[in-house]
Structure 1
Amino acid sequence: MAVAEESHFGRAAARLGTAQPPLSQRIQRLERELGVRLFERTSRHVTITRGGTLLLDEARRLLAQSDALMATARRIRDGENGLLRAALPPDMAGETVAAILAEFQQRHAGVELELHELSTAEQLARFASHDLDVGLIHHPCDVSGLELGPVLRREVGVLLPRRAAAAELEDVALADLAGYDLVLFPRASAPALYDDVLTTCARNGYAPAAVRHGQGASFVRGLILSANSVAFSPRDTHLADTALQDPDTAWRPLTGTPLAWRHSVAWPQGRSDAAVSAFAEATTQALWNTAAVSSDLPRHPIHLRPAAEYWV
């Protein structure tokens, strides 16, 4: 980069605090390694080639990333604020999110928490690209390459029109939902969980004629009221809380609790530092305090079912 900006080996060497011959040799080694001629040289001029020009922006980005990495390392070494990139799924209640933030602040106030709302599939993709440090995932999913906290279970009930016959029951069997369409989160956000839900429904006598997709509370409520649909939700979510106060919708537990959302905090193997541990502990504690969770197969993943089993 220095040679390109100075167009002169002598000036570039002085800028870098080195001698000209070693700098020229380093450029030659770099050209051999890249297989690209970077400069045209004459006795008086140094001109960057087209290939060198194309690589120059990439070189600047690499140097900027290197500087950012070193700056972060210095902050960590000196005990200054670091950055933790964390994620929660979209179905977390506001009370739970607030509790997680408060718990984390108490446990590890010296770290800046960058919190994202991401589905399980989005979290797994960001783990793979090294753009996420820790997150709360839905099981079942592919947890290869990840470490897990305890698996926590949130029992799921059903949201349905208050005029529905099943709304008169204290708890509702899945078979009682026959004739209703199902509103479910988009499959892309958690494919294995999506298939698992439909498998469980089919095994318990409920095969929805159509599956509609939605997550926002107002949108799901509109589908329930106008499209002869029902939806599944834990008791602690905004959807369920709204239904309990809504004269037109109702939330009821499911007979025998056949459905549950299972969560655990996940992070890449080898990334279990103090900040990750603090987030895992804060999230687990917040779920216990606000989401009526129970322990479910602690520290063991839920095995994946065949994706197409519910169609059989």
Structure 2
Amino acid sequence: MFFRRSYSSVKEKSVLISKSNNVFENLALEHWYYQNHDFTNKSLLLLWINHNCVVIGRHQNPWLEVNYDPTRDICLARRQSGGGTVYHDKGNLNLTFFTHKDMYNRKNNLELIAKSLKNEWNIVTKINKREDITIENKYKISGTASRLGRPNAYHHCTLLINCNRHLMSNLLRKHEKCIETNATVSVPSSVINLKEINERISINRLVTVIGLDYLNSINNKNTVNYGFNYIKPDEKIFPGLNKIKEELESWDWRYGRTPKFKITITLKNQSAHAVVKNGIIENISSQMNVNLDKFINVKFSENIIEDIKKCLKTS
């Protein structure tokens, strides 16, 4: 345990609301604060909402986690923290709690959210062993992940208010893809929108309630409360932000950072076995000695799977 400081030592606190709905801008902003801000005796809550996207954890395999559909305008992002895959849209609120590492305590953050839901809308929740916020200890309304460095740390989580659960289910539904990997694998959960529990709830009101509870959570007369501030992720305000965003958008980060894996591609009585490292096919062989050498050193993708199947079919 490393809680050498208490929240009573916090001297400054504020709530920031991102004006962007771009997942790469918001993830870049989050990482910028993690890298550049001094959280010694300070704490910060960043609130942000994204357009439709799927966000995988730092150590996950996108081809195992996401069901791709070229007809849908859904982007894929890989975040800096660990944990499982989540779906974002404008019915989902993202919260990032920043502190010095010595003050990191995500259980307190989750309890603050649970208290806000109970006091404002009489929604009773529980925090399970995985530190998800649940309804009736069954339906998940919030997933959680974190990144701990030195000196800074953050804990971020989602809140499902009124997201497209049908689209979420289709995008994240598991299919057997014959992949062998040591990558972090998401644990499927039953989910529910807060709007389905209490129709009066809204994202705007939730931002206000949680923000105020956060600002009032530290009872210290010496703490300066900077209140709510809207911010736009911008290179002029946050020097170096564009470089972070470009890295997060790159193929090398989203796909090339995938842990090494093996995949078996089958077509009727034919099969091919490929080893993929850093998103690139390192080695491939077939059951019937079909020559697939042209696929070596090629970026792996769903389209490549179909091309390999075509070669198996014509052999």
**Same-fold status (TM-score > 0.5):** no
- Tell me which structure has the larger Cα radius of gyration: 1
TM-score, normalisation: structure 2: 0.23
TM-score, normalisation: structure 1: 0.23
